[in-house]
Amino acid sequence: MFEYLIVRLSVLLTFGVGTLLVVLYPMLKKESKIFAWISLLAGAFIMIIVLYFLVDPLMSKQIF
């Protein structure tokens, strides 16, 4: 019962962290371009991986 809720919340949290890293890009660019690019790339990578797991039918069945 709680496994489903835990998985859903962890997917939401992971997607939120990825989104936060992408959104912070303009603020970090003012301070350091290298950290800004690392933040943007890490956020995009996290969001792509999470979306891949949610879209792929085999992985989606195993997760949910």
Write out pLDDT tens, residues 43-63: 999 999 888 888 877 766 766
Per-residue pLDDT of 6-44, as tens digits, reads 888 888 899 999 999 999 999 988 989 999 999 999 999
**pTM for the structure as a whole:** 0.77
Q: Is 22 exposed, middle or buried (0-12, 13-18, 19+ CB in 10 A)?
A: middle
Pairwise CA distance, residues 17 & 62, whole Å: 23
Q: Which pLDDT belongs to residue 1? A: 65
